[in-house]
Amino acid sequence: MRLPLPLPRWIAHRGGGSLAPENTLAGIRLAARLGYRAVEFDVMLSADGTPFLIHDETLERTTSGQGRVCATPDDVLLALDAGDGEHIPTLAAAAALCRQYGLLANVEIKPAAGYERQTAEVVARQCVALWQGAAILPLISSFSMVALAIARDLAPAIPRGLLFDAVPADWHRQLQSVGGVTLHCNARQFGGEVLAEAATKGVPVLCYTVNSLAESEKLLANGVSAVFTDRLDLFAGACAIEDASR
Ligand code: G3P
Ligand code: MG
């Protein structure tokens, strides 16, 4: 399995980072406007089983709503304010926007506890349908091995990345078991031995969340392939230069 395109070095985190409401269409638009070629967002199911872009299992931090996302029906979710008058987008709306802008979408399957299977099944099937015939396929990632195994079975042509906070010694075995192609990890929770092994095995390493130029430069110089950032402003110039050099 191949990656969908040369991996951009900078990836807008949670839709559009911290300069727009997270996991919203406004955030994705901002990322595209600032020159980003890739955007990561989190996907969770509503009570109706519809995939929406949201990070937390509960609504309070990022929206005007209350309670659990997985217990809230679509009509209620769609009416909430996700910041600055934005709505919580569906995966379908985000996919359409990414395709329109030519963005690589890193779709993070973020299941509510106990909903790993159901979430992965819906998201994998929708990814296949929503990116049908697309020049740039999404990259599906998850902390959940169960979710990635389902994505492998239901959407085998869509590349997968395995997410870790601290990277375990057997990360490559786990990645292989779900047919993954990329390793996604916390920028402050892995060492040189992981990068060396990844380089030997030809696995790109993607690090979250990097919000300083110095940290980004160091990671990229050490062999990290891409960083996720909330600070879209910091890397906009670098994105434009990278784009021009392609
Ligand atoms: O996918 C990278 C990163 O988004 C994982 O952490 O909690 O921001 O979803 P989190
Ligand atoms: Mg995420």
The tens digit of pLDDT for each residue in 72-89 reads 999 999 999 999 999 999
Q: Does residue 1 form part of some domain?
A: no
Instruction: Quote the ligand 1 centre to 208 CA distance (angstroms).
Output: 7
Alpha helices in the chain (DSSP H): 25-33, 74-79, 91-101, 116-130, 145-154, 171-177, 192-201, 213-221, 232-244
* Average pLDDT rounded to a whole number, residues 157-172: 97
- Rounded to two decimals, what is the model's pTM? 0.97
Q: Does residue 4 form part of some domain?
A: no
Q: Which atom of ligand 1 is nearest the CA belonging to 13?
A: 4
Q: Does residue 110 form part of some domain?
A: yes
Model pLDDT, residue 237? 80
Ligand 1 pocket mutation pick from 108, 139, 164 by most atoms within 8 angstroms of CB: 108
Q: Does residue 133 form part of some domain?
A: yes
Confidence of residue 4 (pLDDT cuts 50, 70, 90): low
Model pLDDT, residue 246? 67
In total, how many domains does the chain have? Answer: 1
Q: Does residue 5 form part of some domain?
A: no
If you average pLDDT over every residue of the chain, what do you get? 95
Instruction: Quote the ligand 2 centre to 64 CA distance (angstroms).
Output: 21
Domain that holds residue 166: 10-245
> Quick check: CB of 41 below 6 Å from ligand 1?
no
Q: Does residue 137 form part of some domain?
A: yes
Contact 181, 160 (CB under 8 A): yes
Q: Does residue 153 form part of some domain?
A: yes
Q: Does residue 3 form part of some domain?
A: no
Residue nearest to atom 5 of ligand 1 (CA): 208
Q: Which atom of ligand 1 is nearest the CA belonging to 40?
A: 1
> Quick check: CB of 228 below 6 Å from ligand 1?
yes
Q: What is the CATH number of the domain that holds 139?
A: 3.20.20.190
Contact 189, 169 (CB under 8 A): no
Long-range contacts for 174-180 (Cβ within 8 Å, ≥24 apart)? 174/145, 175/203, 177/145, 177/149, 178/145, 178/148, 178/149, 178/151, 178/152, 179/1, 179/152, 180/148
Residue 135 CB coordination number (10 Å): 9
Contact 141, 4 (CB under 8 A): no
Q: What is the pLDDT of residues 169-202, one digit of tens each?
A: 999 999 999 999 999 999 999 889 999 999 999 9
Is residue 3 over pLDDT 90?
Answer: no
Interatomic CA distance for residues 45 and 12, integer angstroms: 22
